[in-house]
C-alpha cells in the first residue's frame, strides 16, 4: 500500500476517533456532522443561498465603489437574511468564539470562486481590520480568519499589518445608511503603504450591508498609495 494512502487512512481514522469523542455539529441546523463534512452538513451546504452575480465588474457590490475607488471585481458568497438558519454562520463566527468557522467558509468560498477565475491577477488579501480594543475583546479578527481560508484555497498571501483601524467606532447594526457612513469616516489608517503600492488588493470582510465600512477602508488605502482593488465578503445583506 502506498505511504500516502496509509497516511490518508490514518488521518481519517484519527478524525473519526476525534469525532467520536468530540462530536461536531452543523453550524446551521445543529445536526451531527459526518466524517467528511465540515462546518455545514451536506444538506445545509446544498441549500446555501449563494450570491450569483452575472458580472464581477458591474453588480450591486461593485457599484457601491463606483466613482470612489477603482474596483476590478466584487463578489460575496451567500445572502444574509436575519433569522435565517444561515445567519448562524455569522453569529458563530462573530459572537460565539468560533474563528474556525470563518476559515472553513473562507476556504469553501475561495475554492468556488477560484474555479471561476475570480482571483486572477490579485496580489494579496487584506482583511478589513478591527480596532485593537475590539480585537482584544473578541480575541480575533473574524475577517482575518476568512482571509486565511481564502489563502488556503488560493495560495495568496494575507496582509494583516499594513492597514489598521485607528478608531473603535460603535456598532453599525442599528444605524441607517447615512449614519453608517458618518460612523466609519476616517477610522482606518495605512501603516505600511510601501507594501501595498502598485498591488492588486483583495479586501475581505465578513458581511457587506451598505458597504460603508469597506468603502471607508478602500478610500483610506487609495489615498495612501496607488493600488487596484477587488472586494469579497462572506455574506451580502443587500437587497438583491
Ligand atoms: Zn445542517
Distance 24 CA to ligand 1 centre (A): 11
pLDDT 10s digits, 154-197: 999 999 999 999 877 766 666 677 676 667 777 899 999 999 99
Domain hosting 23: range is 1-47
Distances (CA, A) of 82 to 65, 79, 85, 118, 137: 25, 10, 9, 28, 24
CATH at 124: 3.40.50.2020
- Mind giving me the DSSP string for 182-225? HHTTT-EEES-HHHHTT-EEEEEEEEESSSHHHHHHHHHHHHHS
Same domain, 29 and 116: no
Distance 139 CA to ligand 1 centre (A): 26
Distance 226 CA to ligand 1 centre (A): 43
Same domain, 34 and 57: no
pLDDT 10s digits, 139-156: 999 999 999 999 999 999
Report the alpha-carbon distance of residue 198 to residue 70 in Å, rounded. Answer: 13
Distance 76 CA to ligand 1 centre (A): 21
pLDDT at 22: 83
Distance 35 CA to ligand 1 centre (A): 14
Distance 47 CA to ligand 1 centre (A): 9
Q: Which residues surround ligand 1, an ion (CB under 5 A)?
A: 26, 28-29, 41, 44
Q: Count how many domains the chain has.
A: 2
pLDDT at 16: 79
pLDDT at 79: 96
Same domain, 137 and 180: yes
Same domain, 118 and 147: yes
Cβ neighbors of 224 (< 8 A, separation 6 or more) are 190, 193, 196
Distance 40 CA to ligand 1 centre (A): 5
pLDDT at 240: 54
Distance 229 CA to ligand 1 centre (A): 34
| Mean of pLDDT over the chain | 91
Model confidence band, residue 14 (pLDDT cutoffs 50, 70, 90): confident
Amino acid at each position: 500500500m502506498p505511504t500516502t494512502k496509509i497516511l490518508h487512512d490514518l488521518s481519517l481514522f484519527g478524525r473519526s476517533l476525534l469525532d467520536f469523542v468530540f462530536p461536531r455539529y452543523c453550524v446551521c441546523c445543529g445536526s451531527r456532522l459526518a466524517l467528511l463534512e465540515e462546518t455545514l452538513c451536506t444538506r445545509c451546504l446544498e441549500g446555501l443561498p449563494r450570491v450569483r452575480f452575472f458580472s464581477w465588474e458591474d453588480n450591486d457590490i461593485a457599484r457601491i465603489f463606483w466613482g470612489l475607488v477603482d474596483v476590478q471585481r466584487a463578489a460575496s458568497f451567500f445572502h444574509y437574511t436575519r433569522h435565517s438558519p444561515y445567519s448562524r454562520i455569522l453569529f458563530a463566527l462573530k459572537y460565539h468564539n468560533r474563528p474556525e468557522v470563518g476559515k472553513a467558509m473562507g476556504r469553501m468560498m475561495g475554492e468556488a470562486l477560484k474555479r471561476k477565475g475570480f482571483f486572477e491577477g490579485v496580489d494579496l488579501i487584506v482583511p478589513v481590520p478591527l480596532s485593537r480594543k475590539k480585537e482584544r475583546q473578541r480575541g480575533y479578527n473574524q475577517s482575518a480568519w476568512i482571509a486565511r481560508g481564502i489563502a488556503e484555497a488560493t495560495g495568496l498571501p494575507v496582509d494583516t499589518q499594513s492597514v489598521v483601524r485607528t478608531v473603535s467606532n460603535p456598532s453599525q447594526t442599528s444605524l441607517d445608511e447615512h449614519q453608517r457612513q458618518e460612523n466609519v469616516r476616517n477610522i482606518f489608517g495605512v501603516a505600511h503603504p510601501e507594501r501595498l503600492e502598485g498591488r492588486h488588493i483583495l479586501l475581505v470582510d465578513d458581511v457587506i450591508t451598505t458597504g460603508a465600512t469597506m468603502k471607508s477602508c478602500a478610500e483610506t488605502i487609495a489615498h495612501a498609495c496607488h493600488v487596484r482593488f477587488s472586494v469579497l465578503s462572506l455574506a451580502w445583506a443587500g437587497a438583491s
